[in-house]
């Protein structure tokens, strides 16, 4: 019985559960969360799909609870969709504090995104789980931090995969009667909003990279040609569509998949990958080296406020991030150390209250 454990019973957790249940390749889905929201998610998906769906109460911040669940359930795949506060939590807030924190880039809110996946990956190690773990919580940055600690998830989700879907949409509109070529995308989370809004950066080196066909013909403009979609929770529908094929390819007995997605093995940003037999490998186009691909995404991480990540996982923020919060709470832009996540999350809470 193929079992998938989804940690996080919010909107994305429900969308992922429904997508996997609808695909017919998963027999049992466990939806784990701290509140009773998981009960409604499980009941809804179980009613709509031919799949066993169960709600499990879990505080992902408690490593021992996660390890116990992993040991008892032995899932074939773990999907992490949880965070301490959703990236959309401040959507539409007009107050100066919220505007400043958003302007600083998502890396400033790493204390909301990193703690739970850190707890989960430590529990994975403690439980001796060897199956794949896929992470949807800001993987382009949490992945590299976790990699520094030897705790990188198998793969990240969304972001580059969303860009790939936008390229597909543009190609379908332009050539409705022609088969789609192989599409490979190199891009960072910081570039997703421009892609979704069809807002092409004027500077070519700020655009995500799009490679077509086996030969890798460049056409970066395709990422910005699909109909524009304003930022908001509606992006979750595109995220789910981008995520499910990757998750299905990680299941036992799945066929190979060539796709683009975030943070394979904890690399910064997103890359073209080939998933086969439970393993993930880069699938870079001719002429693009792994070193050059990583360097591109490290530069693009500045758009999220990341200056650099130390060997111990400490994240240093950009000068722009410092300027954004200088008049609100300058300490928010100090380096974010893994051991200080709880204190930094509390500081964010006090500023955003």
The CATH number of 3-156 is 3.40.50.720
> Does the structure show a pLDDT above 90 at 92?
no
Q: State the pairing for strand pair 52-57/28-33.
A: parallel
Question: pLDDT at position 310, please?
Answer: 98
Question: pLDDT at position 280, please?
Answer: 98
> Does the structure show a pLDDT above 90 at 150?
yes
pLDDT band per the 50, 70, 90 thresholds, residue 17: very high
Question: pLDDT at position 201, please?
Answer: 98
User: What's the pLDDT tens digit per position in 252-311?
Assistant: 999 999 999 999 999 999 999 999 998 999 999 999 999 999 999 999 999 999 999 999
Percent of the chain with pLDDT over 90: 97
b/e sequence 50-89, b meaning 16+ C-beta within 10 Å: ebbbebbebebbebebbbebbeebebbbbbbbbbbebbee
Three-class secondary structure of residue 69 per DSSP: helix
Longest dimension (CA), the chain: 56
Nearest to 184 by CA among 207, 204, 203, 161: 161
- Round the average pLDDT of the chain to a whole number and report it: 97
Question: pLDDT at position 91, please?
Answer: 85
User: What's the pLDDT tens digit per position in 75-87?
Assistant: 999 999 999 999 9
338 vs 111: CA distance, rounded Å: 9
73 vs 28: CA distance, rounded Å: 11
102 vs 288: CA distance, rounded Å: 33
Find the helix packing angle between 63-73 and 110-127, rounded to 10°: 50
User: What's the pLDDT tens digit per position in 32-46?
Assistant: 999 999 999 999 999
User: What's the pLDDT tens digit per position in 155-198?
Assistant: 999 999 999 999 999 999 999 999 999 999 999 999 999 999 99
Question: pLDDT at position 90, please?
Answer: 86
Kindly report the pTM of this predicted structure: 0.97
pLDDT band per the 50, 70, 90 thresholds, residue 342: very high
Exposure of 22 by Cβ count < 10 A (0-12 exposed, 13-18 middle, 19+ buried)? Answer: middle
The H or E element spanning position 55 is strand 52-57
Question: pLDDT at position 190, please?
Answer: 98
Token readout for 315 is: 């994240």
């Amino acid at each position: 019985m193929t079992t998938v454990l989804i940690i996080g019973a919010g909107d994305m957790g429900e969308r992922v559960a429904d997508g996997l249940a609808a695909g017919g390749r998963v027999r049992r889905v466990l939806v784990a969360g701290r509140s009773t929201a998981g009960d409604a998610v499980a009941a809804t998906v179980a009613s709509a799909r031919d799949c066993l769906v169960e709600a499990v109460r879990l505080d992902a911040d408690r490593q021992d609870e996660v390890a116990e669940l992993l040991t008892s359930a032995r899932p074939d795949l773990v999907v992490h969709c949880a965070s301490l506060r959703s990236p959309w939590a401040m959507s539409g807030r007009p107050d100066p504090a919220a505007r400043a924190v958003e302007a600083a880039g998502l890396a400033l809110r790493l204390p909301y995104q990193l703690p739970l996946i850190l707890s989960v990956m430590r529990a994975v190690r403690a439980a001796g789980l060897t199956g794949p773990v896929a992470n949807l919580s800001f993987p382009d940055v949490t992945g590299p931090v976790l990699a520094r600690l030897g705790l990188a998830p198998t793969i990240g989700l969304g972001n580059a995969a969303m860009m790939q879907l936008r390229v597909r949409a543009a190609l379908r509109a332009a050539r409705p009667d022609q088969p789609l070529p192989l599409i490979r995308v190199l891009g960072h989370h910081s570039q997703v909003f421009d892609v979704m809004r069809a807002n092409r950066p004027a500077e070519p080196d700020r655009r995500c990279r799009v490679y077509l066909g086996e030969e890798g013909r460049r056409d970066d403009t395709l990422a910005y040609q699909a109909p524009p979609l304003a930022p908001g929770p509606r992006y979750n529908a595109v995220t789910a569509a981008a995520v499910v094929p990757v998750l299905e390819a990680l299941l036992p007995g799945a066929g190979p998949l060539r796709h683009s997605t975030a943070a394979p093995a904890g690399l910064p940003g997103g890359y073209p990958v080939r998933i086969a037999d439970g393993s993930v490998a880069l699938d870079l186009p001719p002429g693009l080296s792994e070193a050059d691909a990583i360097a591109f995404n490290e530069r693009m991480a500045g758009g999220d406020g990341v200056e650099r990540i130390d060997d111990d996982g400490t994240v240093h923020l950009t000068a722009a991030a410092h300027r954004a919060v200088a008049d609100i709470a300058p300490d928010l832009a100090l380096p974010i150390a893994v051991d200080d996540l709880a204190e930094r999350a509390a500081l964010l809470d006090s500023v955003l209250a």
